[in-house]
Amino acid sequence: MVTTIKTAQRPPVGEEVLLAEAMQCQTDRPLETAPLTEEPAFAFWQQDIPDEYWALDAQELVERIHAAKARLAPRLVILGHHYQREDIIQFADYRGDSLKLARWAAEQRDKEYIVFCGVHFMAEAADILSGPNQVVMLPNMAAGCSMADMAAADDVYACWDELQEAGITDIVPVTYINSAASLKAHCGRHDGIICTSSNARTVLEWGLHQARRVLFFPDQHLGRNTAVKLGIPLEETAVWDYTLPAGSLGGNTVEQLERARVILWKGHCSVHARFSVEQIERAREEYPRIKVIVHPECRLEVVQAADGDGSTEFIARSIAEAPAGSRWAVGTEINLVSRLARENPDKLVFCLDPVVCPCSTMYRIHPAYLCWVLERLVAGRIVNRVAVDEETARWAKVALERMLAVV
């Protein structure tokens, strides 16, 4: 019999924790496995992992994970997001960007256990889209997303109510998949939709066919970049500052909101905020004929200065399909960029930012957590299950399925 063990609730990713973790970023840091206790930011991570896992070294972890995986083989799948570290991605049966992994969860019903090596919102989406006989687990419950946490459900509900009260009613909510399940449900209930970085353009177009304007959260940059690609002038966008007191219309006048076709929640990704136009200029000076490719969570001026932008899958595919000898400066998370450099030895691939700074929450999926979750499964016990409550899942699924139907 399989039993589910109650585990710690997911702690929100506070700015102060991120700042403390960012202090660990270095120019010369190797991205190799160290025992969990030697990971610089371990003190912030999920602490209810048993002591026996804390000191396991890389070799022991690899052997134990392989052994547990082999025993669970026909019933288990390990999904890995592109930003996962190498010592995790080596165990992934299937890797991809948010859209690809969500599609996998919606279409594959034969695996009973889905161990999601990514962040919390991705595991929630997999739980919502997977079948009732499937169990989704996140190896470390502290693996959240700081951008997703910038849109607290109550703040978004309050914004929605304020807009309605101000007469801004011809509007649909669009949430980036980097958001809590409750917000996906909000979109489901209000005729809205979800997007990923792969399909934001098509989804935003869809939204603007449904209503005069869209409330886009939580990433202002993806929203703005996409709006500009659709030819919407910046004067027809507005930024909703969720840090302002209730009743202040997010820092806007009614006239500004009435003019806006896209109202952008003032969230951002701390990883992609590091990329700058100066870095692009430096790369072009040093390497003639270089191609610059960035993720659309980067700021507008960075996306506009680059040669191309797209999801992690798009970036990986563009480089894989490029001719030998081509040169690529990449504006996205370092674990993916380092992997692309290794997998494309006939090309020059490097990160625009010289400082090695991984997405600190993705990085919290340390192999010790994966080993713990798999070994408990072998023993018939489920730890770190991500299970969205039925009512939330029902409405979130409406919005997710709308997205999968549109793209």
Dump the DSSP string for 155-171.
Answer: HHHHHHHHHHHTT--SE
The amino acid sitting at 380 is G
Distance CA(339)–CA(343), nearest Å, equals 6
Give the number of C-alpha atoms closer than 13 A to the C-alpha of residue 16, restricted to the C-beta side.
0
Residue 3 has phi, psi (to 5 degrees) of: -115, 150
Contact of residue 146 among ligand 13P, ligand SF4, none (CB under 5-8 Å per partner type): ligand SF4
Contact of residue 196 among ligand 13P, ligand SF4, none (CB under 5-8 Å per partner type): ligand 13P
Q: How far is the CB of 157 from ligand 13P (least distance, A)?
A: 24
Range list of H helices, 190-261: 200-210, 220-229, 254-259
Q: How far is the CB of 84 from ligand SF4 (least distance, A)?
A: 11
Residue whose C-alpha is closest to residue 47's, from 395, 364, 378, 375: 364
Task: Find the binder of ligand 13P among 33, 98, 270, 335 (CB under 6 A).
Answer: 98
352 near ligand SF4 (CB under 6 A): no
Contact of residue 311 among ligand SF4, ligand 13P, none (CB under 5-8 Å per partner type): ligand 13P
The amino acid sitting at 281 is E
Binding range to ligand SF4, per CB under 6 A, among 43-51, 224-232, 266-274, 339-347? 266-274
Contact of residue 385 among ligand 13P, ligand SF4, none (CB under 5-8 Å per partner type): none
Q: How far is the CB of 335 from ligand SF4 (least distance, A)?
A: 10
* Burial class of residue 21 in the structure, from the number of CB atoms within 10 Å of its CB (0-12 exposed, 13-18 middle, 19+ buried): buried
Contact of residue 361 among ligand SF4, ligand 13P, none (CB under 5-8 Å per partner type): ligand SF4
Strands (E), 236-296: 237-240, 262-265, 291-294
| Alpha-carbon separation of residue 239 from 96, 159, 264, 399 (angstroms) | 31, 12, 5, 23
89 touches 404 (CB < 8 A): no
46 near ligand 13P (CB under 6 A): no
Q: In the window 48-87, what residues touch ligand 13P (CB under 6 A)? A: 82
200 near ligand SF4 (CB under 6 A): no
Q: How far is the CB of 295 from ligand 13P (least distance, A)?
A: 6
200 touches 216 (CB < 8 A): no
String marking each residue 129-168 x if it binds ligand 13P according to CB under 6 A: ----------------------------------------
Helices vs. strands in the chain: H and E counts, helices first? 16, 15
Residues forming the site for ligand SF4 (CB under 6 A): 119, 145-147, 178, 269-271, 297, 333, 359, 361-362
Residues forming the site for ligand 13P (CB under 6 A): 82, 97-98, 178, 196-197, 269, 295, 297, 311-312
